[in-house]
Structure 1
């Protein structure tokens, strides 16, 4: 019998505690080896930073505040340990290039649950002829992370809804477009206090266990990107923690030639979900609508399977990392175009 692959968790916040840990424990090829989080001494298998590295897990999953991702990943890679990083992998192309170089011969993977969804695979398998225009959106009725937490601080998160939800949208949309070279980009960000289209009182992301907070929110709660690519492809992407919708909704509209595809559902864990997720296709003289199953969290089951493959050396992580580079480039350019470039920390202690 093959021994289970030993997983280390850096950070014991919501994503590692409620998304990755239960799935690691259920997976037949994975076993929890160590956890390091200075603020969670009671976590299972809790260890000091030195003890964590000395335990030498087969793979480390990083689920810490955004501004620490690059420094922590670098430190683990320098020990020759493969790393999986929660999105965003990093906050600039310069950080990306440094990480990619340090990952040579070791292994670096970004958590890419959205592209592993079955409905996304169905959409990708029935694209209209190009050049394509993709309109991608993930809108929440109300789901702002706790005000005053690292998630809502620009110095620690880098960005808000566009970086958080928009990373998933961009990863999927760029894949649908074939990841062409970016030509132009424009972006608009709405920060708290701006005009709210729906007029309702926004709620918090209660399914994350977020309590009501009174601290500042200095990242955007709603962001839109418009991009044009070589070959005529276009992308309009909108991500919002609070918006005019009544039901949290993720939608991809793909148009090319005289054909159109629309995929509607709800990514993530929000219980306020689209009741009947569906893929609809229009063409000359044709119309077809197919309802699709959308079990909550299934894409994260698929991501954990990918982590097991990565740790065992059977996943082409270099190809996946190259695809993530396009996401970094688009989002970095979008924040720069908005006048609010992603904030980078001067240093991060580990």
Structure 2
């Protein structure tokens, strides 16, 4: 028996990720689509779907899972309303925009006696899983360096409107980076944080997204295109962060470096769907002055989303999964909030 899914939102994430992924996965059947925009609904082939403007028509008797892929500012509101009905919910990143929203989601999950799952796609990349495996042999972790910098790729639309997105590149690309680092930190809370923001590329049309036409337009916006942060956990681990929608770099590069008492692991790759990529992933292990390459399995772009879907069937029925996603999200959004609060001093 397949899992009946309601997809809430027909925006960029739904069209580029969830519609094709759900259509091709044998464990899931897309039965319902929700979007308030009549044009978006009419553009969908709805011959085998229930297509509705709001989640009021979504009930636990008709769906087994709701995937929320609406604009950021609606994630908490929609997920809470579905959870309290007793419907399991998967929320695209960012799961929430504040610690207050994290608290609301935590309570809704309890009230509905169901499970909230969160978008953590980067954790399921083959290269990140290899990095996790290598990091287990690095001794005590001392520092993590996180970077995802695009040559160009400033999105348009609601992504650059703070009231709809919750922020700029820090909450967009930064969420992926911090969510990837969280398992390495063992849940240790943030003790200190500092951050800076800038928007030197936001108005440059040459720096707009080129790999998707529906992401490239829109007004200038009021968010940052570049964010830098430095965190220290209560366990004394430092974390540096750099996220950029655009830069002076020639290609888009993601770098994650884990420094431990017994060695350093460094991964260079490119997250996301950009066509301006650095090439395949390169993972190295540095110890005692010797750098050794580590083999990483090749996989197609976007394979991490399929791998995350593979796990959902078990997560929906495992009581131990309740509360895990919101605790992860709460840690990530706390780090982001602290960086924004620190950066506000310099604005």
What does residue 117 of structure 2 align with?
Answer: 109
Higher mean alpha-carbon deviation, 290-299 vs 235-244, is at 290-299
Cα distance change on mapping 1:231 and 1:54 into 2, 3 Å = closer
After superposition, what is the alpha-carbon deviation per residue over 1:248-300, rounded to whole angstroms, capped at 9, x for unaligned?
A: 11110111236221101111111211223110111014320135324200111
Indicate conservation of the 8 Å contact 1:62/1:86, yes or no.
yes
What does residue 41 of structure 2 align with?
Answer: 41
Indicate conservation of the 8 Å contact 2:201/2:246, yes or no.
no
Indicate conservation of the 8 Å contact 2:210/2:216, yes or no.
no
2:139 to 129, 140, 144: 129
SS in 2 for 1:207: coil
Query: C-alpha displacement at 1:317, in angstroms?
Result: 4.2
Indicate conservation of the 8 Å contact 2:140/2:262, yes or no.
no
Higher mean alpha-carbon deviation, 51-60 vs 62-71, is at 51-60
Instruction: Work out whether 1:140 is the aligned partner of 2:150.
Output: yes
Indicate conservation of the 8 Å contact 2:201/2:247, yes or no.
no
Indicate conservation of the 8 Å contact 1:141/1:202, yes or no.
no
Indicate conservation of the 8 Å contact 2:191/2:232, yes or no.
yes
Q: Cα RMSD (Å) of the superposition?
A: 2.2
Structure number with higher helix proportion: 2
1:11 to 9, 12, 16: 9
Cα distance change on mapping 1:219 and 1:285 into 2, 3 Å = closer
1:82 to 88, 96, 100: 88
User: C-alpha separation between the residues in 2 aligned to 1:29 and 1:276?
Assistant: 30
Query: C-alpha displacement at 1:92, in angstroms?
Result: 1.0
User: C-alpha separation between the residues in 1 aligned to 2:11 and 2:322?
Assistant: 25
Instruction: Work out whether 1:242 is the aligned partner of 2:246.
Output: yes
Cα distance change on mapping 1:187 and 1:235 into 2, 3 Å = same
What does residue 328 of structure 1 align with?
Answer: 333
1:305 to 306, 310, 315: 310
What does residue 26 of structure 1 align with?
Answer: 24
TM-score, L = length of structure 2: 0.89
Query: C-alpha displacement at 1:315, in angstroms?
Result: 7.2
Query: C-alpha displacement at 1:24, in angstroms?
Result: 0.7
Cα distance change on mapping 1:277 and 1:212 into 2, 3 Å = closer
Cα distance change on mapping 1:288 and 1:67 into 2, 3 Å = same
Query: C-alpha displacement at 1:339, in angstroms?
Result: 1.0
TM-score, L = length of structure 1: 0.89
Instruction: Work out whether 1:150 is the aligned partner of 2:158.
Output: yes
User: C-alpha separation between the residues in 1 aligned to 2:235 and 2:63?
Assistant: 44
Cα distance change on mapping 1:265 and 1:193 into 2, 3 Å = closer
Query: C-alpha displacement at 1:130, in angstroms?
Result: 2.0
State how many pairs are aligned.
333
Indicate conservation of the 8 Å contact 2:115/2:321, yes or no.
no
Runs of 5+ consecutive residues of structure 2 not aligned to the other structure: none
User: C-alpha separation between the residues in 2 aligned to 1:81 and 1:35?
Assistant: 15
SS in 2 for 1:75: helix
SS in 1 for 2:266: strand
Indicate conservation of the 8 Å contact 1:35/1:52, yes or no.
no
What does residue 174 of structure 2 align with?
Answer: 166
Query: C-alpha displacement at 1:313, in angstroms?
Result: 4.4
Cα distance change on mapping 1:295 and 1:315 into 2, 3 Å = farther
Give the alignment of 1:264-279 within 5 angstroms: 264-279=268-283
User: C-alpha separation between the residues in 1 aligned to 2:76 and 2:192?
Assistant: 27
Query: C-alpha displacement at 1:231, in angstroms?
Result: 2.6
Structure 1 segments, 4+ long, off by >4 Å, are 312-315
Indicate conservation of the 8 Å contact 1:130/1:257, yes or no.
yes
